[in-house]
Every structure is written in C-alpha cells, then in structure tokens.
C-alpha cells in the first residue's frame, strides 16, 4: 500500500509562505532554513548557543516540548555544539511560577537565543524582553510585540481539519472524541479545525469534546478516554500534551484485552505512531504533525547568520508544509487517503478557509 503524508514532507524544507507581521508590513518575515547550518554533515563548531524553557508538560511529553527540544538538539549536533553552557540546553518548568525564573536563568547564562515553548509563556517572555533588552528571545505559539522577540505561530486548525476528515471517514461507530488540554486559543484552534473536518464529511456525526484543564496529567487523560470509549467512541483525537499519553494508555489497554477492539487514537504535534504500539499491532490512526522542530531551527539559523527576526511573527500552515498528517502506516486505506488529499489541496490553495474558533 502506498504510504502518504498529507501536506507534510518528512524531508521538509519550508518554503516561503503566509506571514503575519507582529509590528506591521515592515516586520514581515519568510519561513526559511536560514543561510547557515543547512549541511547535515557539518561538523564545524561555532560559538553560537541556544536553549529553551519547557511548559509544564516537560521535555519528554512525547509531543510539543519534546519536538522543540529535538529541533534544538539536532541543530546543536549539526553545528558541533555540546549540551550545556555555550552550546544548547533546556530548563524544565514544574509550574507556571517557573517560567520567568527559567527564562531569566538562561538569559544570564548568555545563550544567544532563548526559546519559550507554548502559549503559556507569552506573558513571561514579554516581561523578560522588557527587562533584558539585549536578549534574543523566541516564542512558540504566541505573539509578543517587542523588537527582541521572534514569534512563531501555526495554523493548527488546518492540520486538524484533515484529522477530522480522517476520523469521520474511518469511524465505524460514527462517534468520535476530542480531548484537549487547557482551553487556550492554540488548543481551541485544534478543536475548531477538527470539528470542521468531521462536519465536512458527515454533519450528523457528533464529537464528544472534553477539556482536561491540564497538559501534564496522563491519569486524567486515561480516565477521560475510558469514558469516551465506553460510550461508543472509536476514534479520539488528543491535543493535550503529556495528558494525551493517558489516551494512548487507555486505547492500548483495551486493545491488549481484546485484539478486536475498535479503538484508535490520533496523535498530535509529533508523529506518535510509536506511542500506539501494542505487540504486533498499533492503535495510532495518524498524527496531526506540527513542525515545531523545524521552526526552532529556522530561527536559530537566521540568528546565527546575524539576522535574528526580532519583532516579527511567522505563521506556518498547510501551504508552508508546517502542519499536516503523518504517515498512517497502512491504517488508512488509499481511497480514504485520496479524499483527505483533496481537502488538503483545497485548504493549501485557499479554496477552503478553516476557522480558528468553534462556530
């Protein structure tokens, strides 16, 4: 069976695309791979350094934070850097109270670029940007209008629309679930796109939407998934960070008890195929990928070349290959893949505009 990815190539080099200037037209930027560090075989060392602060999901959340760290780690190794001061590093946040402290810590350790990962870092980044005007800060999933902050946004609603199409076409029970973390704009974009994708296929399908209020509670994700599967839901799309690991745990537990159990999970941010492994089978239908790893590397490459995009906001969508569905490894048949691809093409071309909020 032919394997595909919808709107997202794994050998991705992001092309020029839709840009939103945080400070007006003069602040427009273009997604790019930068002018340095593009040779994957490069081993020359540099005195450039970079580090990131995770949100409460932690660096090993199998999702958003982990993907950002993998991007930084890959950039570091590609450019002959070592983990630690003068190279690349991260600090993990146990609670919201750690954000300012961790950001300040990394700035004072003289990292050339310090990243705040996640919407919840918006206010802390703004505060540190005002206090440390010489610092180069980057914010993923939020916008801070400051000359020393580069902001990165994604059109999560576009990739999630495709996830909704896949779920609607693959569901046998015609009962589908969505598990979100906190009710913040970025997660609401996931929900909005997903619901629109389901509706585009079959408006009669009901989607059970549940927000857990946390990104770091796998046990809560598991109980939420248990209720959904028990009610007849057969596919759950999660956008809940580490809490979503519990969704996988519940699906795998049911599959282990009954090999014929019709339970699926759609992963988020990274390709979460490995998270769904159950012996010789797998409960991951696909994943809505969000190339945070590429975004953090793009900023690092520009900064290392002396072109840090401070005061600018860059937005990645389907047209820029910044979001899309991961390879389903045969879980989604080719006729369904073809239908998903049709929707993907229409979104990328602008024929379909996916709303950012639930209508």
Instruction: Please state, in angstroms and rounded to a whole number, the distance separating the CA atoms of residues 155 and 167.
Output: 19
DSSP string, 194-243: HHHHHHHH-TT-EEEEEE-S-SS-HHHHHHHHHHHHHTT--EEEEE-GGG
Q: Which two tokens stand for residue 226?
A: 């248990």
Range 111-138 average pLDDT: 97
Helix (H) or strand (E) holding 292: helix 292-304
Helix (H) or strand (E) holding 65: helix 64-78
Percent of the chain whose predicted confidence (pLDDT) is above 70: 87
pLDDT of residue 50: 98
Give bridge partners of residue 286 from the DSSP assignment: 266
DSSP string, 85-152: TTSEEEE--SSTTHHHHHHHHHHHTT-SEEEEESGGGHHHHHHHHHH-TT--EEEESS----TTEEEE
Encode pLDDT of 200-214 as tens digits. Answer: 999 999 999 999 999
277 and 299 assigned to the same domain? no
pLDDT of residue 107: 98
pLDDT of residue 185: 95
Average pLDDT value over all residues in the chain: 90
Please report, for the domain that includes residue 200, its CATH number. 3.40.50.2300
85 and 101 assigned to the same domain? yes
Helix (H) or strand (E) holding 58: none
Structural domains in the chain (count): 2
165 and 246 assigned to the same domain? yes
* Structural domain span for residue 171: 157-288+330-349
pTM of structure: 0.85
Residue holding tokens 């970079």? Answer: 50
119 and 169 assigned to the same domain? no
The DSSP bridge pattern shows strands 277-278 and 281-282 to be antiparallel
Range 230-246 average pLDDT: 97
CB 331 within 8 A of CB 267: no
């Amino acid at each position: 069976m032919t394997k595909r990815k919808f709107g997202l190539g794994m050998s991705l080099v992001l092309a020029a695309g839709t840009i939103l200037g945080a400070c007006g037209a003069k602040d427009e930027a273009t997604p790019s791979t930068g002018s340095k560090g593009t040779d994957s075989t490069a081993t020359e060392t540099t005195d450039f350094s970079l580090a990131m602060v995770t949100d409460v999901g932690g660096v090993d959340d199998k999702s958003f934070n982990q993907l950002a760290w993998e991007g930084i780690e890959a950039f570091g190794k590609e450019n002959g850097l070592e983990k630690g001061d003068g190279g690349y590093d991260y600090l993990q946040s146990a609670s919201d109270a750690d954000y300012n402290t961790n950001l300040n810590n990394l700035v004072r350790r003289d990292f050339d670029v310090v990243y705040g990962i996640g919407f919840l870092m918006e206010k802390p980044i703004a505060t540190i940007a005002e206090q440390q005007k010489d610092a180069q800060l980057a914010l993923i999933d939020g916008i801070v209008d400051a000359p020393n902050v580069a902001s990165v946004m994604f059109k999560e609603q576009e990739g999630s629309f495709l996830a909704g199409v896949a779920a609607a076409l693959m569901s046998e029970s015609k009962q589908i679930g969505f598990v979100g973390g906190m009710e913040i704009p970025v997660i609401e974009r996931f929900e909005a796109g997903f619901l629109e994708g389901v509706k585009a296929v079959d408006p009669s399908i009901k989607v059970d939407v549940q927000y857990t209020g946390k990104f770091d509670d796998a046990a809560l994700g598991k109980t939420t998934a248990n209720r959904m599967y028990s009610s007849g839901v057969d596919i759950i799309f999660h956008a809940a960070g580490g809490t979503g690991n519990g969704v996988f745990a519940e699906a795998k537990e049911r599959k282990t008890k009954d090999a014929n159990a019709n339970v699926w999970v759609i992963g988020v941010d990274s390709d979460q195929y490995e998270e769904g492994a159950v012996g010789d089978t797998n409960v991951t239908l696909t994943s809505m990928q969000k190339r945070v790893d590429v975004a953090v590397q793009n900023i690092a490459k520009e900064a290392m070349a002396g072109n840090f995009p401070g005061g600018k906001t860059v937005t990645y969508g389907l047209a820029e290959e910044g979001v899309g569905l991961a390879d389903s490894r045969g879980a989604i048949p080719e006729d369904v893949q073809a239908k998903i691809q049709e929707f993907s093409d229409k979104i990328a071309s602008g024929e379909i505009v996916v709303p950012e909020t639930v209508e």
